[in-house]
Structure 1
């Protein structure tokens, strides 16, 4: 019996979607602009990386061709140099929004057709009744920030005051999210999680997709740094995803990284949540080695987004892509006859773009494995085609969105 692995390279978009103008993202192109920057020397960083973008394994899977199909432009140094080893195409998001739940839910067959709630880009940003209830229920001395902000900048701005007063740092963005940052040691990690659970309930009437705990350490003198103990408190998907379908069919499911949080821990099977891209990829590869027939591994590699996209760090993003590419042969070595791997993304986060938010983009779809037919799978009119293909490959039938390309 076949097995399947889906790896989401969080935020690795490949060109502005047709509706990108609606989101202020016309012209955004995460992969294309990174490749161009590296070709021009803007991706160089002493001790980190130098020269043109070097992704030989993903290029052989069709990454450059997927970019060209999406935008009409072949990014520098992404032209295949040998016969292709995979099937390639690109996905078009139909969901409302350009954030993590929308992208992941659509991948698993549940596009977001409703409108998320958002907090306005004002100061204060949160409704007074929400702030009042949060302070009262959590017995807080108050909150700090209460505005749209970059996660790293807001900690630098309010970290010292937070440690002095005990007031958590609450902020948002263009996404449907309330983020709460607090010091792991002086405030306490479990206290932060408990606070986010209260905020999650209070955000439900506003239809906010996620409340995110953003723990950090450090001091004003030595600088503050976010830790890997982030935790997302999401709402449930509105209908059954392929995860639900597979669990009901008795199949083994393993989720790696923040997948469990994104799906509110519903039908997420064995959850493994290490810190960092490398550790998450290692966990996914190990899971594939041990996965029984008919099983499914679903992994998210978040560092592309959180560490480099939001921080507009082109060299860091390029280095992370190259680090992942070097490990593609390890993925291939863990496969058995009949296995399918799909590499994709959930949205864009162009590090050359204005602001610090996600970008509305097409996403790559690279499929490979022993026996997988190589060649173009074309433009997929919904990310849900990925989930439909996984179910078809695993021979599990279910009514839902998406069309399999198998």
Structure 2
């Protein structure tokens, strides 16, 4: 029996790529800078499980630097390396699609860093078709910040909060109780059709609850996303008779294309619990793909170094549970989709190498070369599962 697992630590970059200057990201290093911060704070990071798998060595291969607090130099138990993105963006969809064998060879549309950010004809048409009294925000913003800033006025007026980021995205936030969750979804569905001429990748529904300036986003987020332009690893597995189990926001990112089953979780640890349950159930030729979104959503974008470091420690502490359940024929990979250096100015993603840490009962420990495309990950798993090869990428094992 052969099974594959992708454990994606959303935004966990290992250092700037050679083309980082095009993105104003020269010097970024999500993992390295978190480790530096922890060491200076007198609490050096300790990720013994991932370090033994080869994480710090992969980061050294990517950045030329050893992360502070990490001392193992040999004796690794996984096939470890790093990859550079071939796609032109540093966004969620590009990273995930490229991992699955479909690099984004076109340029997404983006909304400018102006106020307002959205074209007047777009917001006017959206207002006309949805019947809302207007919009709040209309700018580049952190979701948690803009919701707390405009939440009271939103509840009082019924005007949805709209904002964007460095991603190709329109985000719409509304209160689950006063505005209504289904109504928010309806507004987002209409918006998704309206942004098509702008070549926007996603419209994201951002429901929240709370009162009086103290609001919390809920787990009922929903992404309305453009489908990948070509068959991905998910399609190859499903079409060849295997089950594709999507945990977290994976199904949304792939617009449900190639997905057999969807499993949700409210945070990283809930998703890890779900992963363990799926691991016990998944059958032959199955692909389980989980996105641990908190690294990016809760800590990277918010530039919360402490929270990011704590989340890494939590993940490392849980990994032995997953490893102990692995069966003969299982291959798992720890990876990411881009960087989001919490020490870097602003709140956007960062152009970085991503980890490629392949492990399992039959994986020979070895150093892997720096991959020139994330698609090497998908191609390696396609080869392992025995499904038709992808259009891009090289088998690494």
TM-score band by shorter chain is over 0.9
Which residue number corresponds to residue 185 of structure 1? 177
Q: Does 1:175 align with 2:167?
A: yes
Which residue number corresponds to residue 135 of structure 1? 127
User: What runs of 5+ residues in structure 1 fail to find an aligned partner?
Assistant: 42-49
Q: 1:55 aligns with which of 47, 51, 60?
A: 47
Q: 1:217 aligns with which of 209, 221, 238?
A: 209
Q: Does 1:238 align with 2:229?
A: yes
TM-score (norm 2): 0.98
Superposition deviation, residue 137 in structure 1? 0.8
- Say which SS state the counterpart of residue 327 (structure 1) adopts: helix
User: What runs of 5+ residues in structure 2 fail to find an aligned partner?
Assistant: none
Superposition deviation, residue 123 in structure 1? 1.1
Partners of 2:317 and 2:349 in 1: how far apart?
26
Superposition deviation, residue 398 in structure 1? 2.5
Partners of 2:157 and 2:392 in 1: how far apart?
49
- Taking the TM superposition and a 5 Å limit, the aligned residue runs for 1:246-257 are 246-257=237-248
Contact 2:243–2:286 (CA<8 Å) still a contact in 1? yes
Which residue number corresponds to residue 5 of structure 2? 5
Q: 1:208 aligns with which of 180, 200, 213?
A: 200
- Taking the TM superposition and a 5 Å limit, the aligned residue runs for 1:3-402 are 3-41=3-41, 51-80=43-72, 83-220=75-212, 223-402=214-393
Contact 2:57–2:73 (CA<8 Å) still a contact in 1? no
Contact 2:338–2:349 (CA<8 Å) still a contact in 1? yes
Q: Cα RMSD (Å) of the superposition? A: 1.1
Q: Deviations over 1:237-258 (max 9, x none)?
A: 0100011111110111111000
Partners of 1:398 and 1:337 in 2: how far apart?
22
Superposition deviation, residue 78 in structure 1? 2.2
Superposition deviation, residue 359 in structure 1? 0.5
- Say which SS state the counterpart of residue 295 (structure 2) adopts: helix
Contact 2:101–2:390 (CA<8 Å) still a contact in 1? no
Partners of 1:181 and 1:229 in 2: how far apart?
11
Q: How many residues matched?
A: 397
Partners of 1:98 and 1:69 in 2: how far apart?
20
Superposition deviation, residue 52 in structure 1? 0.8
Superposition deviation, residue 399 in structure 1? 4.2
Q: Deviations over 1:83-111 (max 9, x none)?
A: 21111000100112111000000000000
Partners of 2:242 and 2:15 in 1: how far apart?
35
